[in-house]
Structure 1
């Protein structure tokens, strides 16, 4: 009889044991615990630490990602302020460069950055586009005071302006069948991108992602305006214009206008995270789109920047107002290092 009583007591205790074990939500071995997606860890870290896309474009101190070449009278102050990375080839650097600049390969920007000390970093390239891409990556890596030289060396001197001079004038979009003035299509809400990593900390994931993107270089993140204009169906296109310019300038057929594009308000969900989507951003000069593309690649999108932007496919558009190379934007004749 005693054995039988113990048997029934055991049966009564078993459910309570199960209930106790199921309540251990902090047990990493618990199969019922759903791990936070890696993208969510990355996103939350970036938003909470002033590294949202909008904060890469303009940091928490209201410093934009680009700075124009100075007036002649302000040159020395400008040179004294920055630790300058010139990421052009050694041949181009040796031919002419800004006084005090350091010739740094793109692949070395993260390892060189600590040498700037307390100085903000200025990144210089041929046209400003690669420098803007590098600037975004450096800002995400913790160097928030990094800026790119707007228009690159093309904006410094007329003797080094060929990168821009040679990319305008074709006006392929003028009367092109794939150039339209229609209203933007309605934005679609997609899922988050997928990020694969063994890391479980948002900061560590961000560092790893930035390092991986730097290692691949700028070239794989670019597409020409001619390619996008000819085959718009091959891309998920986001036009980074104001609504007034989107309608007034015209735009590539099928281009969305997802702006603002930030993590904090979930507007980024308008972008297609599919690995075959080829998300291409285009702006006026290819410089802002380079920044956005760097951010999107770090976030796990198959993202591309349309090189030279609107300037590259329709520089003489009659609706143009600012950032038009050769009209309101021209090279300055600033000196090079002796």
Structure 2
């Protein structure tokens, strides 16, 4: 009985021993938030949003279709991947292009060797989204064909021709009011067990590729602008001159380094919609924002789909000037 009594007393002291040991030991390691690690890695490696739009070598994310005289050199320069449907690719495509699924673009990038990748789609928008993700993944010289196949030849221009619109014209959703002062909000929350910014970036890009291009239509936003956190990616002059979606913020520049990104709503489920003139730059911004943890979307066709007939246009209006299809060769 005495032996049992001693055992019980000993067990009572066990928790005290462990508590004392914990009190005297090292403090628990405080982990750096995944977003902070990701942000720092992107800034320190020329992967901030503005460096994805224009890389460290001064190459913008898009390249226009060449003049006929420059076609041979253009085709020789790029490893061209066409992410349109297999049916449309078989009907007509750029000579030497390879048809791949969007979900495989990261793997396909390794097959390019020393050549820069050129991504081709119908309108340039999905290609720009993919270009941003590939640049973030390390394929820094990747570019998208501006205007997509629509700018290559009038025979493949249907996707742009049928989507120019004036859906916002003369509606309460279109405003000419002065800019709204951006908010200062918190960082998004990213779930990751890694303490490596590089590893977090890699996994976030891979996830974004698998999820595909995230968009909203201009009609949906015009019908319910209050249902979105709207980011207008115009110059200050155009914000007033063109007009803008009601209650849209204008956050430009938009970078991590200057904390301007904090003007965006990081709340899960708060749809952050970026729009630009053509839907191509907004696709790049949206790709970056999704990698950073925002519930981000690109407004398809941009200003061209909102108010194409707006008299303030000077550039990037579909069907005028440099956006007229080049009538370059197609093969099947």
Q: TM-score with structure 2 length normalisation?
A: 0.92
Displacement of 1:209 after TM fit? Answer: 0.3
Report the secondary structure of 1:281's partner residue: strand
Map residues 230-269 of structure 1 onto 2, 5 A cutoff.
230-269=223-262
Find out whether 1:323 has 2:316 as its counterpart.
yes
Find out whether 1:181 has 2:176 as its counterpart.
yes
User: Which of 155, 158, 162 pairs up with 2:154?
Assistant: 158
Aligned partner of 1:94 in structure 2 is 90
Equivalent pair of 2:79/2:112 in contact (CA under 8 Å): yes
Find out whether 1:109 has 2:102 as its counterpart.
no
Map residues 212-223 of structure 1 onto 2, 5 A cutoff.
212-218=207-213, 221-223=214-216
Distance in 2, matches of 1:21 and 1:58, equals 53
Distance in 1, matches of 2:111 and 2:212, equals 21
Aligned partner of 2:265 in structure 1 is 272
Paired positions, count: 311
Which structure 2 segments of 5+ residues have no match? Answer: 1-19
Structure 1 runs, 4 residues or longer, greater than 4 Å off? none
- Give CA deviations for 1:180-204 in whole Å, capped at 9, x if unaligned: 1001111100000000012110000
Displacement of 1:155 after TM fit? Answer: 0.2
User: Which of 189, 193, 202 pairs up with 1:194?
Assistant: 189
Equivalent pair of 2:167/2:307 in contact (CA under 8 Å): yes
Distance in 1, matches of 2:325 and 2:154, equals 5
Report the secondary structure of 1:148's partner residue: strand
Equivalent pair of 1:100/1:337 in contact (CA under 8 Å): no
Equivalent pair of 2:31/2:195 in contact (CA under 8 Å): no
RMSD: 1.4
Which structure 1 segments of 5+ residues have no match? Answer: 1-16, 25-29
Distance in 1, matches of 2:249 and 2:327, equals 39
Aligned partner of 2:51 in structure 1 is 55
Report the secondary structure of 2:144's partner residue: strand
Displacement of 1:21 after TM fit? Answer: 5.7
Distance in 2, matches of 1:84 and 1:180, equals 41
